[in-house]
Amino acid sequence: MPPISLTDKERAMMLGMATAALQHAYAPYSKFRVGATVITDDGHLYTGSNVENASYGLTMCAERAAIFNAVHQVQGKLKLKGIAVVTENDVPCPPCGACRQVIAEFGANTAVVFRGQTDYMEMNIADMLPETFRLT
Give the footprint of ligand THU on this chain (CB under 6 A): 27, 30, 32, 34, 50, 52, 59, 61-63, 93, 95-96, 99
Known catalytic membership, residue 63: yes
Between CA 90 and CA 74 the distance in angstroms is: 30
Q: Which is nearer to ligand THU, 2 or 97 (CB)?
A: 97
Q: Which is nearer to ligand THU, 53 or 73 (CB)?
A: 53
Cβ neighbors of 91 (< 8 A, separation 6 or more) are: 32, 115
Q: Which is nearer to ligand THU, 95 or 107 (CB)?
A: 95
Rounded least distance, CB 95 to ligand THU, Å: 4
Between CA 101 and CA 99 the distance in angstroms is: 5
Burial of residue 119 (CB within 10 Å: 0-12, 13-18, 19+) is: exposed
| Active site amino acids | 63
